[in-house]
Amino acid sequence: MSEVIRILHVLGNTQLGGAESRIMDLYRHMDRSRVQFDFLVHTNEKGHFDEEIKELGGQIYRVPRFRLYNYFSYKRALKEFFKLHHDFRAVQGHITSTAAIYLPIAKKAGVPVTIAHARSAGVDKGAKGRLTRWMRRNLSKKTDYMFTCSRLAGISVFGKKAVRDGKTIFIPNAIDCQAFAYDEKIREQMRERLGIRDQYVIGHVGRFHYAKNHEYLLQVFANLCNGGKLKDNLINDIGSQGEKRRDYVLLLLGEGSGMEDAKRLAEQLGIAERVRFLGNQNPVYDYYQAMDYFVYPSRYEGLPGTIVEAQASGLRCLMSDSICEEVAATELVHRMSIEKEAGEWAAYLERTADYTRRSFAKEMQEAGFDVSVQTEKMTAFYETGEWK
pLDDT digits (tens, 9 = 90+) for 188-225: 999 999 999 899 999 999 999 999 999 999 999 999 99
The dihedral built from the CA positions of residue 191, 194, 196 and 197, taken in this order, carries a sign that is positive
Which whole number is the average pLDDT over 16-37?
Answer: 93
Q: Partners of 118 in the beta sheet?
A: 148
Residue 317 and residue 188 in contact, taking contact as beta carbons nearer than 8 Å: no
Give me the chain's average pLDDT, please. 92
Which whole number is the average pLDDT over 18-36?
Answer: 94
When pLDDT is cut at 50, 70 and 90, the band that residue 233 belongs to is very low
Q: Which positions ≥6 away from 72 have C-beta within 8 Å?
A: none
253: burial class by Cβ within 10 Å (0-12, 13-18, 19+)?
A: buried
What pLDDT, on a 0 to 100 scale, did the predictor assign at position 244? 44
Q: Which positions ≥6 away from 219 have C-beta within 8 Å?
A: 234, 235, 269, 342
Which whole number is the average pLDDT over 342-354?
Answer: 96
Report the C-alpha gap between 221 and 248 in whole angstroms.
Answer: 8
| Model confidence pLDDT, tens digit, residues 283-302 | 899 999 999 999 999 999 88
| Model confidence pLDDT, tens digit, residues 2-12 | 689 999 999 99
What pLDDT, on a 0 to 100 scale, did the predictor assign at position 245? 57
**pTM, two decimal places:** 0.81
Report the C-alpha gap between 309 and 361 in whole angstroms.
Answer: 9
DSSP 34-86: TEEEEEEES-SSPPTTHHHHHHHT--EEE-PPP-GGGHHHHHHHHHHHHHH--
**What does each C-alpha distance from 41 to 47, 105, 197 come to in angstroms?**
10, 16, 42
Residue 171 and residue 149 in contact, taking contact as beta carbons nearer than 8 Å: yes
Task: Give the neighbor-by-neighbor strand order of the sheet with 333-336.
Answer: 275-279, 248-253, 200-205, 293-296, 316-320, 333-336
pLDDT at 230 over 60: no
pLDDT at 243 over 70: no
Least-confidence region, from 155-169, 215-229, 236-250: 236-250
What pLDDT, on a 0 to 100 scale, did the predictor assign at position 2? 66
Report the 10 Å Cβ neighbour count for 334. Answer: 14
pLDDT at 47 over 60: yes
pLDDT at 238 over 70: no
pLDDT at 1 over 60: no
pLDDT > 90 fraction of the chain, expressed in percent and rounded = 80
pLDDT at 342 over 90: yes
Which whole number is the average pLDDT over 59-74?
Answer: 94
Peptide bond into 112 cis (omega under 30): no
pLDDT at 241 over 60: no
